[in-house]
């Protein structure tokens, strides 16, 4: 709902953000992106199709290994992500105003531990 004015879903926002983060270090493979997103490659591929169709990302085959695919943001994808980031920050601000800043931060830690299959009683991810 928060990202509806931009025309993407929250899952797509997360994917675009991770592709941007990965490409800052060079480029990101589908396997790396799937691991970061905590999803299998086929689910990631399913989620990438509309982003590719809308020309927000492109998939490139690696030159040295044709089985490896890189995911890259297009110029349109970067622009859409920048627009979406404003709406996302507003939604986060509203959530924190209602839920509380500290409880929201604690919830993020719990969710990251779950996503990373960590024991909830172990040290928090920060």
Residue 67 lies in a domain: yes
pLDDT tens digits along 26-82 = 689 999 999 988 899 999 999 999 999 999 999 998 888 878 899 999 999 999 999
Residue 112 lies in a domain: no
Residue 52 lies in a domain: yes
Cα separations in angstroms, 42 against 21, 22, 34, 75? 21, 19, 9, 25
pLDDT tens digits along 68-96 = 899 999 999 999 999 999 999 999 999 99
Cα separations in angstroms, 53 against 19, 57, 94? 16, 8, 32
The domain spanning residue 64 has which CATH number? 1.10.10.10
pLDDT value of position 118: 62
8 Å CB contact between 53 and 72: no
Q: How many domains does the chain have?
A: 1
Range of the domain at 49: 4-95
Residue 70 lies in a domain: yes
Residue 57 lies in a domain: yes
Q: In what order do the strands lie in the sheet with 57-61?
A: 28-29, 69-73, 57-61
Residue 103 lies in a domain: no
Residue 121 lies in a domain: no
């Amino acid at each position: 709902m928060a990202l509806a004015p931009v025309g993407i879903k929250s899952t797509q926002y997360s994917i675009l953000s991770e592709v941007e983060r990965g490409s800052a270090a060079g480029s990101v493979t589908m396997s790396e992106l799937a691991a970061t997103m905590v999803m299998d490659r086929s689910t990631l591929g399913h989620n990438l199709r509309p982003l590719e169709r809308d020309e927000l990302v492109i998939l490139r085959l690696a030159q040295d290994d044709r089985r490896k695919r890189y995911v890259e943001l297009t110029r349109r994808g970067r622009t859409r992500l920048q627009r979406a980031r404003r709406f996302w920050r507003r939604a986060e601000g509203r959530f924190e105003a209602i839920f509380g800043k500290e409880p929201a931060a604690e919830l993020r830690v719990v969710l990251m531990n779950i996503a990373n299959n960590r024991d909830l009683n172990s040290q928090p991810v920060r």
